[in-house]
Every structure is written in structure tokens, then in C-alpha cells.
Chain A
């Protein structure tokens, strides 16, 4: 690692304030930092602490009309960015500072081809001919290890998986070899295997070009693996700064210590409860899923006949007992969310789903409503699952209202209590979803799911966007509720550390089928299926001393779940390798 002491970016006393309906408030206060050439600076910290705002302030892209820089300076080299007009700032953006945004799904223009989006920034900042720009774009795609780069140029964002989109974003940011790269939670949306690839990629590229990177993340594992220096933020202020090894080894600030203590570690004892025996014998399961199939028809032909199908879920069976947490893990697109949705009654399915003794199919209106009360879901994307035009307080109160629970005042109190439990203040009830940071939104979703005290909560990647401290808090809360009310969880996550932490049993999914299922200890201590092993290996370790040299990488593309009519996928047979540890034969 090159260690030129030269400073490239200096932020001094930066204050960002947002204007609400009744006056403004500061979300970044007096932040000062420096970034040296070739250095990776991680900004970690509580969700909502102003990390994204800081990044946007550097880019001069704060959300209009609400937010603005109220004080402070940002110097890129000798240039004072806050004083630049839009035209001159344009030359800096993309060319000297590039940014990867927190939401890869929405950050690419859906109507422009990948090639267009790549070449246009090259053409904007260089005098390359279109053909040369195209060449450069292909190189950039190859650099982020996207297969068939040339043909990808013609594809559109929606034709790519989430991981690929994020890599395109990175390629776009790096194509011009900027001096500074700001990556805001570049991996939050990705599953472990892809996350590993992306991080490795960032590191490779940085070594090659000497780019300075500001990496915003709440994942201490990522911090440990990537950062040279770390800044910990809270409430818009910097609480601690230091070298990565120092921070991990000798955290100074109280908050940093809390943060580190809260990090879930795979295989370590921290927070790991004793694995409870799977209560297989308990007759009254909360949910029982037998031979679940979900297929999405793709139509074609003159009469709109079904010609192809996506076999999203192929014959999945599992059951969840009260008080139990079943974790569902697997790669992006393997059918986890679809399974969850079937359980929540959001997609048509075949097979049997029995919840609280009632088979979901063939229920009357009122019964269905009652079942709904028992099964709640926390969605993968917190922003998308909140109505942007409703106040979050109303959103959380809504389930109570629908089921006619409590009077108006009581509802308010209960909502306030729920806010408190998920670590939000009751003042924030009056805000709208877009006024929250990513992590805060997720907490709103969790509060909402808890409102009805359901028997089963389906949590689809619901803690991945949270900073570790809140994550820990939420996990504790979930466990607490389980103890109090016997709630069962279907916990979907790509974070194996978290899974290990919270689950009683684990099911590993691959291409719509379960390839391994067993108690947590069975699966983590004795992973039998190669796919399971690969997943576990890919998890970043929150210890800078134990940096792996290479992430395990999935070389081949994920096979498609789409098939022609009549071509049913091969059904994997599960065999018991002892004590209910089910493993599919390799094939």
C-alpha cells in the first residue's frame, strides 16, 4: 500500500442543515476530516448520523430543496468546493470525485443502456471519440469483472441482477480514475458472495490507481477488512477517529466500544445463545409449509399463452414452531423473498401453507384478515415498503387502526412505545419516510410489524441496513419479544453472522429448493452441502488482523430459474444425516 502523506480532500467544520416544516436542524455538525491519497477512509456509525449527508455535501448534491451546507469548507486539493458554481462543480464530479450511491436499484437510469450510461460520463470529461469511449467502457466493465462486457453494453439495468448493477455503478465511478471515490454502503443490498466480490474489486482498483476511497458502511466486518482509517459518527458529529487497528483494538469513545461490542461475529460466542433443541415434537406449529411451489408465468404468443415459467420456489417444505427462529439463507434470486411472500399471502402458490392451524387457501375474508394479524412481514427494502406520502407515526399506527385495536390516544401511546423500542424518538412520528436515513426507515418497518404482536414475523433482510448497534438492539428486541410472547420468526438474511446469532434452525436455499436444513449448530459447525460452505466462507470478519487474502468467489453465473413449459427442474431429495440435519445430494 502506497503511503504518500499528501492530502487530497479536507473537510473543515462542515455543517449541513435540513429545513423541515417548522424550522431547520443540523444533521451534520462541525465535521472535519482529511483524506490522503490512496487511503481508504471508512465512515461508520449509527444510522441517521449524517454519513450519507456528508457524502452528498462533498458532491454538492444534497437533496433539494430541503438540505444545504450551513457552514464549513470542503477543499479538494486547493479548490474550495462549496464556493463553486454548478458549472464548475460539474467538471469536478465524475472526473475528480466519483460516488456510488446507497441505493443501486434506483441509481441507474432505467431507460438508458448500460453502455450509454458508461460512455456518457467518459465523453463528458475526456475528448475521446465515441469508439474510444466505448473501448474504455468495456475495459471498465471488465475491470469490475462483468462477464461478456461487450454485449452487456447493450443491456438495460433491469436486465441485470442487483449485484451486477452495483458493479456497473462502480465501473461508472472508476472509469475516469477519479482522485476520490465515495462509496455509500456499496454492499448493503448485496448478498455475501457478491459483497465479497465487490469489496475485493474496490481494493484491487484502489491499489492499481491509487484512488482515495471514502467508504461508508455500518458493517464492522467490512470496515475491518477495508479501512486504513476509521471515523465513527453519531448524531451528526464525529465521535472518534483513528487507524483501523487502533480503533478495533483500543476504542477510545464510549460509543465506539458499544458499537464494537455489538458486532455479531461468526463462530464467536458473543451474544450467541445456547442452541435450543428443535422442538420437532411440538404438535402445534405456528406455520407449516409443505411442498410449496411458486411459479411466475411468462406469457407470449398470439393468445398470450404461457410459454415459460420462473420456478422461483420448487417444493419447499419446512415448519416453524412457536418461539422458534428459522433462518432462510441463500444467494440473491434463490427464492427467499418469494417464499416469504407466499407465506404472507402476497403471491399465488401451490402446496399447503398452514398458519395457526388454518390452511391459507380457501379462507373467507374475515378469517384471512385474522390470519394477517398473526403473520407480519418486514420487507427487504424499507423505503419501498413505506408509503412515502404518510407520516411514519400513522404508518405504524395503521395496523392497529385496521384491526380496530385501541382508542386514538392509546394508539398514539403504543406507537410511541414502539418507536422507543426500536430506537427512534417519538418526535419522529411526525416525519415522512424520506426524511429518514436508510437505517431509520428499517426501524420504522420493524415497529410496524411489531404493532400487532403477531405469532409469526417474517423478516426479509430486515436488519442488513442497520448499523451494528441498532442491529444488535433490534435483534435483542426480537429475542425479547420471542421470550415474552412466543413469537416465531422466519428470518431471511445474507449475513451469516447475524443468522448464526439469532436462529434456532437454518435452511439454505439454492435455485428455489432447500439444499440443507438443520439446527444452527448442525449447519454452522458441520456444513455438509458445498454451497453452504461457500456461503459461510464469504462472510467478512470484523477483525483487521485477520484479513483474508482473497474472498471466495463464485465464478460462474447464477443458473437461471426460468424454464420452458414442461421442463420442470430436477427435484432434489433431502436425506437426513443425523438428528434432523437434512442435506440434498450434490448435483
Chain B
């Protein structure tokens, strides 16, 4: 097919390291940095993206049709796609997989993505076992009916949670399916030694001829990033899954040979400071704007060795709907002070800034703290474990300000709506929710719903505009102070081949396992 690299060689094995454990390889559950792209290689969904880009393309589906009202999606499935156990995948499997992921017993963290499918509420409430909106038309056709037009639906069909699983294997392993994953993907699981090693093996029956290139991928688990880099330098591994550790960044960049193997790319990521809009004094928009103007983003980026670009709006630059024209709040201490004075805080005030405790987040928080101090805001830092920060954010009276780093939004799929719902919309502004600024603008919620009902691909640009407007309005109310969009810097061994964008794939993080190859096989 079109996407296969003509230079690619077949065969070879690579080694990749990760610090944290791989929790599960069940597509309905896995939601981590490490397992996200592994699952993508073991399973397939109806939709996918072109390697290294954010462009949607059909995957298990051969083609799809959208009804004019945008509420019915019909997918034609590819023939002859086989699960790793040899059975052919059919429309029944698609339906089963979606029933499964939305069933509360599965306890999937991604169930909410399917909220627009008819019958979702019944399933979620435990009143029904299957989604009434998903019907098997014939073994190779599956039809989705939605309760409202949903422009993101094709993206939803590409995220891991909608990947297709074989019923018999799920039932065989029950809750342990995540340890014995069986999918249709380019690789199949060959070995899993808990806490040590996961080995993927090429799926010889993969429907996409010519893929994958590699015979074997070994993931070594539990290694400190700094040690992983040492091993890379010694040629023992091929890709450090956690990237280049900050402490080694300068050293790597100073060495031309190593620098040549560094790949840089954008990410669907924004780092921001939330301000609790229900909590004085942040209930005053002027205060929030003042904070936006007080931050010296260039300095903050300097601290992380320039591995980011300044952000002025919630969406990252590579996201459709990013408003290039938007200038954002300038760095202007005097004006920020003036605004504070206008808001009735000429001498500033005391507050707290929460941040996650892993490097470099406490450092960034300290830089922010110093910037705030310059306009009189004395923020004390609470540097806590991830779960504690999340808990504080989900408590209405919990955290006045949170630096999002380490827990921040990395988009589930490349669509502007993905930055709104749970983190800026009213739906997320509930106890235990993820809208940490507790910003709830009914108006904008309505506008967002409107934008998401523009399903027609032809109107995509128009829809993006609508989203830009929404985010501009958000920035007017300034519940966040966007700080930067992190750039990904990764490294590979000299033998690794494939286009650079495969190594900073916006969707397959850290790399697109299916498409990379090694140069040293004959």
C-alpha cells in the first residue's frame, strides 16, 4: 500500500526501554504513555492515522459513509483480517468490542468517549448489555447510530478504546485479557515477563502487506531514563522510550554524532496553569488575566533547556483549530500589576500553586512562583504525588492554582474538541472531575456542541474556525494561563531507519512500531 516506505528492510529486532511498568495491554483499559502505542500495534480499530501525521484513514474499515444529518456512520470492513488466534474478524467483533468497552463491568476509562452512540446511557447505567446504536448489517458491515451529530466520531473510532477484540479470547482470560492480548495488529505478544520484559513478534498474517518491518521488538521495563540513555550510547538499545532525560540533554546536544540521532517533533500537548474560577481572588477575571501577563514563558522554557515553545492558547500549534492569528496575553509585568490593582489587590495576595513532584515540574513551578511574586502574588508551592494533585484539582475548594505538567493533557486524538469537554467544559467541573479551573460557561458548552455537530468533512475548516473562536473566548475569560507546548526530543540508535516523523509520531508515542525498520539486516 501507499504508506509503506520503499527503502524499508524486512526483519531485525530492536530493543526499547521504559521506566514505568506496562499496566495492561487490554485496549479497553490501557491509558498510559507506555501501553498506548503498544496496544496500537497489537490491535486495530476501524480508523487510524497515516504514519507520522494526524490525518485519519480507514484501517479495519475499508470505507465508511456518513449520513447527511451526521448521525449515522456505516463502515464496510476489510475482508480476510485475522485475529492472532487465526479467526477472521467480522462486524460481530466490532459490535462486541464496543459493547464491552461501554459496559460498566469492564471499568474502562475510555467509556465516556462513546457517549454519543445511541443506547450508551442504558449500557452505562447497567440497564442494557448492548448498545442499541450499533448494528451488524452483515458480517462486513457495521452501522452506528448517534444521538447527536458528532464530528469527532471518526477519531473516536481510531482511539484504542474502540479497537476490536475477539470475544472468545476475552471470555477465556476474563479480567486477565490485558495480560494475554489477542488482536488483529501488526505484532502479537510473544512473551511477557512481569516487571521485566515484553516481547512482540511480527504477525505474519497481518492484513497490511509489507508491514510490519521488524521481526521482533523487545521492551525492557523498569529502567531509569538516564540509564537507558547510557545504554543507548553503548549501543545496547535502540530507542529510549522515555526520551532524553533533562540531565543528559546538554551532553547529547553538544556531541554532533549524538545530536544527529536526535529527532525533534511537536506534540499534541499544552502545559498550563489552572486558576480556580470559583475561588477568590481567582473568581475575578482581571486577576486571572494578570497572571497570564505575569508569566515569563521564555525563562521557563530556558529552564527546561528550550525543549518547548511558548503557548498562548489551549490548543497546541499542530492541532487543527489552532489560531495562528491569536496573540495571547503579552508578558507585561506593569500591566499585570495594574490589573491586579484594578481587581482590588494592589499588594497582591497569598495563594497556593500545586504541581506534580517529578522533575522538571517543581522547577517550573518555582519559576512561575518567582514570576507571580514579581506582581505581588505570593504563591506557596505544593509539590505532590500525581494522585494527590489530581485529587486536589477535583475538589472545588482544593487547589487555587495547579501547574499541569506531568499530568497534562496529551490529546487522545487530534481534534480540537479533545481539549475542551472534560478540562474546560461544565461536564468536567464536578467533584472528582478534571476541569481544575472549575470553569463552566454554558454558552461555550452550547457552541462546542454546535461545532461538534458539523460532521461533513468538507466543512472541516469551518468547524475548526468555530473551535478557534471557542478557545479565543476561553482565553478572554482566562481560566488558564497557557505556558508552553512541549516539544518531543527522542533519540534512536544508528541502525534505526525510517522517516523522522515516525519517531515523533503525534499519535503513536513514542514511535510508530509498525513502520520503523532497522538498516543492518540484509
A–B contact via C-beta, under 8 angstroms: no
Residues of A within 8 A of B (CB): none
Residues of B within 8 A of A (CB): none
